[in-house]
Each structure stands twice: as structure tokens, then as C-alpha cells.
Chains A and B, each alone.
Chain A
Amino acid sequence: MASGIKDKVAILGMGCSKFGERWNDNAEDLMVEAYAEALEDSGIETSQIEAAWLGTAIEEQHVGKSGIPLAMALRLPYIPVTRVENFCASGTEAFRGAVYAVASGACDIALALGVEKLKDTGYGGLPQRGRGSVNDLFWANASAPGSFAQLATAYSAKHKIPAEDLKRAMAHVSVKSHDNGSRNPKAHLRNKIDEDKVMNAPMIAEPLGLFDCCGVSDGAACAIVTRPDIARGLGKKDLVTVKALQLAVSNGTESQHNSWDGSYFATTRKAAERSYQEAGITKPRDQISMFEVHDCFSITEVITMEDLYISSEGAAVKDIMDGFYDADGKVPCQIDGGLKCFGHPIGASGLRMIYEMYLQMNGRAGERQREQDPVLGMTHNLGGYPHQNVSSITIVGKEGA
């Protein structure tokens, strides 16, 4: 039995660019903005980084292929640099690469950086592209909101929750993220909204309206990781360590086998089960201090809270309406504004979530700092479509927790 990643790797430094419509910046500028902050936070020099991972999903839109764009932007000294892509989990995949490298002992200090420069397409929403020459022959003409919208119809039908009640809970999710985003200077969207505005917004893909969908943003986020003993040797105290890193990838069961009912994420459930085991967590609803989940759409957050075993199946609507996940609730979810308002530069998002956990655990989250000291934080990414996706989970926490 593998011993898992728990407490083998610590975060030495993190950085995150401002997310948003960065009309006057190239992807390289965003990378350096996140990196400069992480480097200063870590207290090391570029020459001490021994390996790096670049996470970016839609590279045709900005940096192009390979690890070279990262090496060039950061002027890395001829070290191994690998580009990884796994849809919206690309940032978390970069982090996993760096953490595993350190944990294996192959290197002492490694870097993970995620970036996406999406606002160069000439239109709103994610870039529309081919999906592969064979897939284009038979895949439905689906957008991201259209695919995720179907969770709502299947979930409503399964749990007999009236569409109106579900839509109200979805609206609460978005209102909460806007509230939280308003207190985050790096967030893309910082305006507050109310439920009526969400309910009455133009439809994007039924039942998802404009405010049920996250923004498409430019941005970058960066982590520098090392072993806990090295971090302490460099003068770091109150370390934040990695407790679990899990990834589950659809194998076609949901899309081709009639055993999946369309109302939940089969991948997220598997990744969550393994994460709790790896981190030694037995009662996640009581033990996890805060969540950053992949709220690409409001319905995704609703259902994910069940798939992570925090709300029981069919009960997320009640927890959400009770304020359980609000910034001042029992376990806040998206306290930084989430994908919805912090923004969603795809390759950066996983690292942005870890960045928020790291700030909160260090008491550096400013106006949105939780009063209660967070101990364990869980981040979650979901890439692809509900019927065919990758789901990644990271748990970080205070060393020894």
C-alpha cells in the first residue's frame, strides 16, 4: 500500500497575478507577475529551482506548445521544464508534477506555474475549437455551459427537486461568489449582485443564465515547493504542506454505459474518496476548514458539494440556502470569489485555489481572512464535460494537521 503524499512536501512560496481582461499583457507578462510574487515569498533565487512544470490548456490561443515559453519567460537556467495539459485541471497537474518530483527526492525545489491568456479571441466565452478529427465526426455541437446545464435537468429529475428551487440555490451560489469576489483585489469580477438579477438574466444554456456561468479570464498562478525540512532550513515557519493529491479520469462509462444517470460526477466521488484516505480524513464535513471547488457553473458547485461528501445526496440545495458555504458559514466555499468572480484562466485556476488556501492559512487573506484559523483546505478542479471529464483534488493544510 502506497504511503501517499501527506506531509512530504511543503509550499515554499506562492504568487498569483491579478485575474481579468488583461488586454495589454501577454501570457509571458502574466507568468512573470505570478512568479515574481512567488519567488519573493519563497526567499530563494531562480538558480535554486531544479525543475518546473507549466500548466496551460488552450495553448494554441497564446504561448504555443512545450515547456519553452515558461523557461524563456522566467529565464530558467536550462532545467527540465514540462508542459502539462488536462483541461481545467492543468494547473493542478503542474502542481502534482512539482510535488511528486520533490517527494521522490529527484529534486529539492520545484516550481509549478499555470497560465492562460484567453481574452484574445474576439468574443466572450471559451474559444470554440475542433475537438479532434474523429470526435468532430460524432460529438454533439456542445458548449461548456450546454454540457453542464444537463446536470440540472438530470439532478432535478432524480431528486424530484423542482427546477425553480434548484435555480434559486444556483443563484445563491453566484450571489455568494460575487460577495466574496468584492473583497478580493485580484478578482476579475468585484461587483455584488442579488438573486433576482441571477434569476432574470439572459439564458446561455437552459437553465444556466449569464450569472450561472463563470468568467473567462487572463491570469497566472505559481507555486514553489520543497521538502518540509528544507523549508525549515530556509527559515520558514508554520508550514503549509500537501495532504492529498488525487485525480480521476473518465473511462467512457458515463458517456457510453447506461449505469450513469447524469446527475453527479463519477470522477469527483472517486477522487474525493481517495483524497480523504490519503489525508487521513474521516469526517470531511467536520474536518475540512474551507473549499475552493470548480464552480465553472453554479450547478457544478451545487452537485460537487455532494460528490465531495460534504452535503448528503440531494441535500446540497438545503445546505446552500442555509448559508453553510457562505464566507461566514460553517465551511466557506469559494471565499476568494471562485472561478465565478476571481476568474477562470484555465491553466492557472488549480494553482489559484491553492494560493487562496495558502494565504488563509498564513493569515494573509486581507479583508476576506477567515476569523477561525483554517487548518485543512480542499481544492477541486473539473475539466471536460459531466459525461466525460477529469477531476482533480488537492488537500493542503498545516503541517501535522
Chain B
Amino acid sequence: MALGILAIGGYLPKARLQRTDIANANAWFNPALKGLAKGERTMANWDEDTVTMAVEAGRDCLTGIDRNIVAGIYMASTSFPFQDRQNAGIVADALNLSTRIQTLDISSSQRAGSSALLTALQSVHSAEGPILVSASEKRRTRAASPLELTTGDGAAAVLVGEGEPVARYIGGHTEAVDFVDHFRGEGEAFDYSWEERWVRDEGYMKIAPNAINNLLDKVGVSAQDIDRFCFPVAMRRAASGLARKIGIAENAVADNLQSNCGETGSAHSLVLLVHALEQAKPGEKILVAGFGQGCDVLLFEATEAIKTAGDRLAISGHLANGRPENRYTRYLSFNNLLTMERGIRAEVDKQTGLSTLYRNKGMSQKLLGGQCSECGTCQFPKSKICVNPDCGAIDSQADEPFADKAAKLNSYTADRLTYSPDPPTYFGMVQFAGGGRMMSDLTDIDPDIELEVGISMRMVFRVKDYDMLRGFRRYFWKATPQNDTH
């Protein structure tokens, strides 16, 4: 029995916005952006937020693991969809976890992700089982800002606990320093940032070495012994400069994923950690930091179990699963940076009855249907009377989870009449293996690939409707072509 990371998972949205398209569109305003115009950044779909991305990372992390053992979810983000409604609780519901768990949102700093991981490692011994730590970010940035180019949307998750870890926890340390390199005040949508050179020289290069050296001293590991060093900031050469200063080998510096993902804010330390663990060999030491008003550092050692840790999409699988996106105005529109003419059809009131939602959240948030104990028929949604025309038993159905069932597409269309933030609206009849079906919204449809009757589909948790009048959003499950995601 050892304390550490039991499983890893990740999620990156499929669309990869090409930085040249951002820079070209804004060149008239800020030609200097061309210096950042290389590679691509992840771009969340209109129906994705930090909750939905955390759900996907959580599903990936819990692949092959009995969800009933999970005793807690700590969710880190600085871009939670809800200020007062626990976001981790929505993730727990979508993952169909038990209600006997601890749920916690951790926020307000770019090191929220590393702090959540550290807190989980420090507290899991007193929990009734492992804790799922999920970090997810979808930061809003101003058009033509450097952050628009250097950030990306994404999530990562690790299951922390005692058992046979893929990476044993050696130790951790935090230096808390109210160094304000940027901030986002109450009610503000965007970050306000100070000069990069000051952030580098007085922040990264002074606070981080202090934290790292303190940790290495504490655990008696020398800098040369570090095999992988994850320093989750976008700035070019920041991590390598730090490594040089501390004495970490240059080839130990982990790719910060600037070229193909972007910096995913408070999720980025976990994104880099998961990415490093996917590649790590047994015995390797992995040092991960989180920077923001101080610095968290954590040290892990990969075990024999690391060999099978990457049998899932994690970060590498999602990096490989991208689709180039050249439509910059689509990005602007999805992030409410462009006032689109949505038409009168978009004015339909999307109020959600909170009592209606609570009563039906097994169906809508967990995607629970029913299975008839008389005839075995599975159906969605569950109902009092079995849908099988040859059965009709009453009150015979037990909860049946549909979220992870294999499914096929029976019929579909691309609807240009109904309002959607991303027309056309794709939807179709999705039929589940073992019974049950639903007329389902489809999402992440590649406009260049024709849908076909009979293709395999997978269900994903997404935003169904935004209630602009009240600041609420309701979630539900949608189908997406399986070959594109797994």
C-alpha cells in the first residue's frame, strides 16, 4: 500500500483554433501578435464548459474503475460556470457517483489545480476511499490579447488514494506569496496582466526556485534526479530557464504544450502531469509545479503500474484527436466576444424549473434510464409502465445507466431552421446496444465528414441550453461519433 496517483485521465476539446487565423484577423490592430502565431490552441465547443470537460476527464480517469469506491471529488478551476452551486457536485452527478462523497470546488488562483491535488494527497488517508481531483479551465480572454493565443481549453483528472499507485507521492510543498502578476476582480470577465518580463524575473525565477528547493531539501532528492519537470506556464523558455537555475537536466523539462494545446490555466499543472505520466517509465521522478500567488510543487515517482496507466485517451489521445479550426469568428461567437444576430427564434425562454430538474436529474444529469425486471427491456427515459408492447409491467423498472453504453445512429439530419449557436443543429435517433433509444442532439460533428446510418456513437455530457435571462445553464447528454473520440 502506498499513497499516490491511482489513475489518470484527460480531456481536450476537439477543435484546434489555428493561431495564424487569430493573428491575421487582428494584425491591423496589433501586428506584434504575429510573434505568437504558431501552432494551434484547443477551443471548447459552444456546449462545453469547465463542468462538461471535467466530466469527460473524470470518465477517462475512471475507465475500468468501480465508481462506487470514489469518496470525493475536488474540482479546480477559475472559470466555474456557477459561483454558488457546487460545480463538483454536477460532475459527481454526471459521473453517477454515490451521494456519500465529499465534493469541493477549489478556485481563485492559477495554482488551484496543484493545490487541489496537494490537498487531496494530504487528506485522502482520512477519507473512505480515493479522491478524484479534476482541474478544468475555459478562460475568457479579450480579442487580440496575447492570452487569446497562448491559452487553451481543457481538463485533466487524477484519482488519488492509497493502494497500488501508478505514481507514488514523495512529497509536496507550497510557498504562498501574494505576487499579483495578474488578477480578475469581482464581476470582471477578463484578466488584467502586468508586464511579462517582471513576472518572469521576480515571479517565476525567484518564487518557484524557492519552492522547488525547499521541497527537494525536505524529501532529500537532488535536482539532477528529476526525470520530468512540469512547469505549467505558456512563456517560452521559462521552464528551461528555471531548470537551469535549479540544476534540473534540460532534457527533463516537459513540453508545455504551447504548440498544440495552449496553456489551460489552473488545469495546466494536471494536464502536464497526466501527459508526463503517460510517457513515464517505472522509477522516474516527476516534479510538477503550480504557479499563482506563490508556488505549489509536488514530487512523484512512477511505479511498475505506470506501464498500463496510459491505456486511455488521457492527454496524448486527445492531442491526436483534434480538428483544425480556421473560423476565428466562430471562436469569438462561442465566447460571447461577438454580438451575433441570433434571430427571434433564439428568444425562447429557457427557464429551468429547479424542482423539475431535481425530480428528473437522474434522467437528465446521470442519463439513467430503466430496465424492466419482468421482461429485461431497457428504455430511456425510465417510466412507470414498461415500453415493451408485449410486457407493459407496472413499476418494474430499476435504474439503468445509459451514459457508457455503445450506441448506433439510426437516422439523422442537419437542421438549419431551429436556433443553435452553431448551425446546423445535428440530431438523430440513437439506439443503444442492449435496448433503448433516444432522439438525441448530436455534437462535435465534423462538417467535412458525412454522417451515415449505422455508425457508432458515444454519449457525452454537454450544456443543453443557456438561460441568458437568469444566468442558468442546463446540462444533458448528446451523442457524438465514436470513431472520432475513442
Chain A contacts to B: CB under 8 angstroms: 121-123, 125, 128-130, 133-134, 136-147, 149-151, 153-154, 157, 203-206, 208, 252-253, 255-259, 261-262, 385, 387-388
Contacts and interface: CB of A to CB of B under 8 A. Distances in A.
B344 interface: yes
Interface string B417-428: 111100011011
B261 to A, nearest CB: 30
Contacts of A206: 413-414, 424
A42 B302 CA distance: 91
B416 A205 contact: yes
29 contacts: A128-B419, A137-B352, A137-B357, A138-B364, A138-B464, A138-B476, A141-B415, A141-B427, A142-B415, A142-B418, A142-B425, A143-B425, A146-B413, A149-B413, A153-B453, A154-B429, A154-B453, A204-B416, A205-B414, A205-B415, A205-B417, A206-B413, A253-B387, A256-B379, A256-B380, A257-B437, A258-B437, A262-B429, A387-B439
A257 B388 contact: yes
B240 interface: no
B415 A256 contact: no
B326 interface: no
B353 interface: yes
A110 B435 CA distance: 48
Nearest to B361: A137
Given A129-B348, A141-B420, A256 B387 contact: yes
Given A137-B363, A137-B476, A138-B364, A257 B387 contact: yes
B49 to A, nearest CB: 18
Interface of B: 343-345, 348-350, 352-353, 356-357, 360, 363-364, 377, 379-381, 383, 387-389, 410-420, 424-425, 427-429, 431, 435-441, 453-454, 464-465, 474, 476
A151 B341 CA distance: 31
Contacts, number: 140
B453 A157 contact: yes
A154 B410 contact: yes
Nearest to B415: A146
Contacts of A151: 411
Given A142-B427, A146-B427, A258-B437, 7 more contacts: A137-B363, A141-B415, A145-B415, A146-B417, A149-B415, A150-B411, A154-B429
Nearest to B380: A256
User: Per DSSP, are chain B's interface residues mostly helix, strand or loop, or mixed?
Assistant: mixed
A204 B439 contact: no
Given A134-B356, A143-B417, A256 B437 contact: yes
B5 to A, nearest CB: 36
Contacts of B363: 137-138
Given A121-B344, A128-B418, A137-B363, A256 B436 contact: yes
A137 B364 contact: yes
Contacts of B352: 133, 136-137
